[in-house]
Each structure stands twice: as structure tokens, then as C-alpha cells.
């Protein structure tokens, strides 16, 4: 995942679970003991929106780690008995995958298992390691071999390399993570049953902790731990390392140092709230639902429009449209029927595939939009592929006017931590707002202000990165 592409990339999803072994003690019953792989499978279903090109699960078997991973959706990867083939275990990690260059293979999918002289580790990574090539070259010169182009393979090899030299697993993971530059959330499975979770020192990628009577789990989003029966406890703090063993946290602390090089732009990616995260997640103290609802209210204040109805392009924009409706008093109606069996269109590796996916994904509800002045809400406008289709379909369904509002500022700058858009791919870099409005076929076009977006996400407990809008680093 280290090579720059023209894709607007998804974030990947990671999950790990460590259950108590108390079932082995007479008279003590812990539900779900030894069902870590099945719990991980359910969690990956909840994280499917973060990556739809591949999935994998690694689980403990004795002192070994067994892993199954393939390209495809979670249900496809673990069909035909593949889930049942994983060992009954109290500890497992999982991953939902996207590729950045459109050439993903089964080998590129995580988790990655690395063997070394005294053990094994499996690693799942959500992130972009900007010094992955340098680390790969260093490890190769030390005798390590690599089979893929994945950053996660580099991280897994680096962790194993440090374990051979340090011995202590916590110290090894801390040493390895402090060598990484970029943005990352990492879950490490050790063959002795320890689970180690790491969040980069800028907190760019989300990571949280859940707990129930059976043990503990970590995940990219709180929706994943809650859907598996764990109570959301808290977010992993930026720079924090958490070690879980036998279903309990045995260590947690801020162990990672910030790298203050100029090319490091820190802070939680604000697109988590705009688009990436699931609506029922809480990230760094802020409900994704609340953030999107507030974005809609802000848009209504910044762009009061005389219209008959307001609708959002499914799915992320629906609650934004609801907020606009509440603030403006304009009636909220569904404007489209969403084909849920078509994935997020930007994940497709070619423009032709993206356009074809958009055509079959959204169909307008003409009964709601015919002869109406429509306020249409979308979460972002980069290439305009889905937006052009949405506006045109409303026109064909009989809408009199279509006023397009975007709940993120104009997206212009590539971010080497995940938002990898080519300069010529972003319409805002080659056209004025008026020209973009004409291209997408709308009667008017407005973007939320950066100040308005900050205010909508104002209860986030950490700074966030707005580099893709401003070219700057952290915004507080």
C-alpha cells in the first residue's frame, strides 16, 4: 500500500480479539471461549465498508498461527467451509483490504504471518507507511525476503526482526513502530496468545477497544466491537500501545514518538466523519452520526435555497441531508433507490468500471422528484463520476431544478497517508466552481466551508488533518 495511485482510497479495517481461558478452570464458564475466529468474521462483516477487495483472518493454534486470506468480500473469502477450517482459538486478528494500485493479488491481502527463530507473528495494518521502501531495503540487506508490494508485509517483517533482537514482545513492537513513518493502526498477534494494538502518534487512523465478560477486542471502528457483543470502552490514544493477554489489558501507555519531518501531516483524517466511517461508530469521542447531521445543519446555514425537497446520495449523505432538512425546514425525501449489492464505486480499479458500477448502483425515485426543485447533498466531489450520474438521473426523472451541496470543502491535494488523488483527477484543480457546476449539470453548487466542517466535528477529542483541502497539516 505504499505506492501512490490515482484512487480515492478506502481506509482498510483491522480487528483483533483476545478471550479469557478461564473456561479451563472448574466451575467457571466464559461464553464464546475459543470462538475468536468466528467473532473476527462477524467483525469483518461490520468493517466491510472499509475495504472490499480482500479479507483475512489469522488465529492461534498451539504455538502456531493459522491464516486464511483471499481477494473478495468477507462472505466470499470464508465461504465453502473456509471459516470452519480455522482453529478454535481464544485469540485472532482480521483485516478487510483495498489496494492502491488496482493490482491486488491474494498475496497482498492481510494479515501477514512472519516466522522467526523463536516464534511467529501475524500483523494487520490500516495505513500507509511512507518509508516502507527504505525499511524493505534495509530488511532485505539483513537477509529477509519479501513476496508482495504490501506495506503490511514490511511491518510484519520489521516486528519479527525486532523480536529476534529484543526478545520482549512489547519492546520489540514499540521499537518497530517507532521506525515507521506515515499513518497507521496496527494489530499484532503473537504466537503465545498476546494481542498488541498500536495507533500512530498523530492518531491519523482510528482504533478503539471493546470489552465483555469473555475478553477484549480492538477494531478500526466501534461498530465492529459492538456488533460482536463487546461494549465500547474507549479509543486507543495517538501513540498508545496496548497489550492484551488472556482477555485482559496487561499494559497500556504512550510509547510512540512523533516524527516532526515536514512531510508528516498529523491528526485524525477528517474524511472519517465525512465519508469513511460507518454511521453508528464513535471515533475519538465524536459520533459519526452527530458529525454528519451537524454538517447538514451547517450547509443549510451557509446555503439557504428555495426548494421543494432535499435528498442525499446514499449512503453517507443521508444523515447530512436530514440535518439540512431540520435546519432549513425543507422536506426530506428519499431521492434514490440504492442497489446494496454494488460496492463503493471508487474502489474499482479503472474509471470504466467505476462508471459502470455507478449506473447500476443508484436509481432515482421519480415519484418523489418529478416537477420538484431538489437540494441534492453529496459528501464529497473529487472526480465527479457518481455526482454527474446522480444529477443526470434526477433530471431524467423530471426534477425541475437540482442544487448540489457538498459536505466537505473542495478536495485538491493528494495526501501520502491515504487520500491519494492525482492532481489532474481532482476537478477543483482544473476547473472553477462554476465550471464544475456546469460539468455535473447542476443549477448551483456549494461546498461547506472549512470553518463550518470544523464546527460540525468540533467535539472530536483530537486534532484532525485537513491536508486534502488546504495542503496544510494538523487543524485543531
Q: Which residue from 90, 55, 72, 106 is spatially nearest to 189, judged by alpha carbons?
A: 90
- Quickly state the pLDDT bin for 263 (edges 50, 70, 90): very low
**Tens of pLDDT, residues 37-77:** 999 999 999 999 999 899 999 999 999 999 999 999 999 99
State the pLDDT at residue 423. Answer: 58
CA-derived radius of gyration, the chain: 23
The beta-strand segments (E) located in 147-226 are: 182-190, 195-199, 208-212, 215-219
State the pLDDT at residue 476. Answer: 45
DSSP string, 366-406: HHHHTT-EEEEEES--SS-HHHHHHHHHHHHTT-SEEEEEE
d(CA 188, CA 97) in angstroms, rounded, equals 16
d(CA 170, CA 192) in angstroms, rounded, equals 13
Q: How many residues does the chain have?
A: 476
The answer to whether 37 and 28 are in contact (CB under 8 A) is no
The answer to whether 189 and 121 are in contact (CB under 8 A) is yes
State the pLDDT at residue 22. Answer: 75
Q: What is the chain's mean pLDDT, rounded?
A: 89
The answer to whether 59 and 43 are in contact (CB under 8 A) is no
Instruction: Spell 350-359 as b/e; 16+ CB within 10 A means b.
Output: eeeebbebbe
**Tens of pLDDT, residues 370-415:** 999 999 999 999 888 889 999 999 999 999 999 999 999 998 887 7
More confident residue, 234 or 149: 234
Q: What percent of the chain has a predicted confidence (pLDDT) above 90?
A: 72
- Work out the number of other CB atoms within 10 angstroms of the CB of residue 257: 11
- pLDDT over 80 (residue 335): yes
Supply the residues annotated as catalytic.
Answer: 12
**Tens of pLDDT, residues 418-435:** 656 655 678 888 899 999
Q: Looking at beta carbons, which pairs linking 272-275 to residues 24 or more positions away fall under 8 Å?
A: 272/11, 272/206, 273/456, 273/457, 273/460, 274/316, 274/379, 274/380, 274/407, 274/408, 274/453, 275/316, 275/379, 275/380, 275/408
Burial class (CB in 10 A: 0-12, 13-18, 19+), 302: middle
Pairing of strands 286-287, 309-312: unpaired
User: What residues contact residue 443 under an 8 Å CB cut-off, 6+ apart?
Assistant: 401, 402, 403, 437
d(CA 385, CA 426) in angstroms, rounded, equals 11
Query: Which domains does the chain show, CATH number per domain?
Result: 13-264 (3.60.20.10), 288-475 (3.40.50.2020)
**Tens of pLDDT, residues 197-256:** 999 999 999 999 999 999 999 999 999 999 999 999 999 999 999 999 999 999 999 999
| Of the candidate ranges 154-168, 190-204, 259-273, the one whose mean pLDDT is the lowest | 259-273
**Tens of pLDDT, residues 175-187:** 999 999 989 999 9
pTM of the model: 0.90
Amino acid at each position: 500500500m505504499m505506492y501512490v495511485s490515482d484512487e480515492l482510497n478506502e481506509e482498510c479495517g483491522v480487528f483483533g480479539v483476545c478471550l479469557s481461558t478461564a473456561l479451563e478452570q472448574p466451575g467457571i464458564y466464559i461464553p464464546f471461549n475459543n470462538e475468536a475466529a468466528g467473532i473476527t468474521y462477524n467483525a469483518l462483516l461490520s468493517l466491510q465498508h472499509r475495504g472490499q477487495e480482500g479479507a483475512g483472518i489469522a488465529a492461534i493454534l498451539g504455538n502456531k498461527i493459522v491464516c486464511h486470506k483471499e481477494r473478495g468480500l468477507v462472505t466470499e473469502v470464508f465461504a465453502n467451509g473456509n471459516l470452519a477450517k480455522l482453529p478454535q482459538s481464544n485469540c485472532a486478528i482480521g483485516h478487510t483490504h483495498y489496494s492502491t494500485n488496482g493490482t491486488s493479488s491474494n498475496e497482498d491481502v492481510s494479515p501477514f504471518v512472519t516466522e522467526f527463530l523463536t516464534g511467529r507473528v501475524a500483523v494487520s495494518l490500516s495505513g500507509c507507511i511512507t518509508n516502507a521502501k527504505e525499511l524493505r531495503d534495509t530488511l532485505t540487506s539483513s537477509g529477509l525476503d519479501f513476496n508482495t508490494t504490501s506495506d503490511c508485509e514490511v511491518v510484519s517483517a520489521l516486528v519479527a526482526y525486532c523480536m529476534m533482537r529484543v526478545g520482549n514482545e512489547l519492546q520489540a513492537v514499540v521499537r518497530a513502530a517507532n521506525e515507521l513513518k506515515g499513518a497507521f493502526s496496527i494489530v499484532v498477534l503473537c504466537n503465545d496468545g498476546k494481542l498488541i494494538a498500536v495507533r500512530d502518534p498523530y492518531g491519523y487512523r482510528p482504533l478503539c477497544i471493546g470489552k465483555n465478560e469473555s475478553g477484549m477486542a480492538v477494531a478500526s471502528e466501534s461498530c465492529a466491537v459492538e456488533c460482536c457483543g463487546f461494549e465500547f470502552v474507549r479509543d486507543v490514544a495517538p501513540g498508545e500501545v496496548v497489550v492484551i493477554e488472556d482477555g485482559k489489558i496487561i499494559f497500556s501507555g504512550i510509547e510512540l514518538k512523533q516524527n516532526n519531518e515536514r512531510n508528516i501531516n498529523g491528526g485524525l483524517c477528517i474524511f472519517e466523519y465525512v465519508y469513511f466511517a460507518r454511521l453508528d461508530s464513535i471515533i475519538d469521542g465524536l459520533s459519526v452520526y452527530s458529525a454528519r447531521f451537524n454538517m447538514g445543519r451547517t450547509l443549510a446555514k451557509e446555503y439557504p435555497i428555495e426548494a421543494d425537497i432535499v435528498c442525499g446520495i446514499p449512503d453517507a449523505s443521508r444523515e447530512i441531508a436530514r440535518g439540512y432538512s431540520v435546519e432549513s425546514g425543507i422536506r426530506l425525501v428519499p431521492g434514490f433507490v440504492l442497489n446494496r449489492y454494488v460496492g463503493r464505486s471508487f474502489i474499482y480499479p479503472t474509471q470504466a468500471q467505476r462508471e459502470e458500477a455507478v449506473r447500476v448502483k443508484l436509481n432515482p425515485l421519480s415519484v418523489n422528484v418529478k416537477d420538484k426543485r431538489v437540494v441534492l447533498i453529496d459528501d464529497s466531489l473529487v472526480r465527479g463520476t457518481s455526482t454527474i450520474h446522480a444529477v443526470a438521473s434526477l433530471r431524467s426523472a423530471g426534477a425541475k431544478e437540482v442544487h448540489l451541496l457538498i459536505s466537505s470543502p473542495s478536495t485538491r491535494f493528494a495526501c501520502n497517508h491515504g487520500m491519494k488523488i492525482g492532481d489532474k483527477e481532482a476537478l477543483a484543480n482544473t476547473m472553477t466552481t462554476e465550471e464544475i457546476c456546469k460539468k455535473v449539470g447542476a443549477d448551483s453548487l456549494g461546498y461547506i466551508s472549512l470553518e463550518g466542517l470544523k464546527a460540525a466535528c468540533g467535539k472530536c477529542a483530537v486534532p484532525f488533518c485537513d491536508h486534502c483541502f488546504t495542503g496544510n497539516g494538523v487543524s485543531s
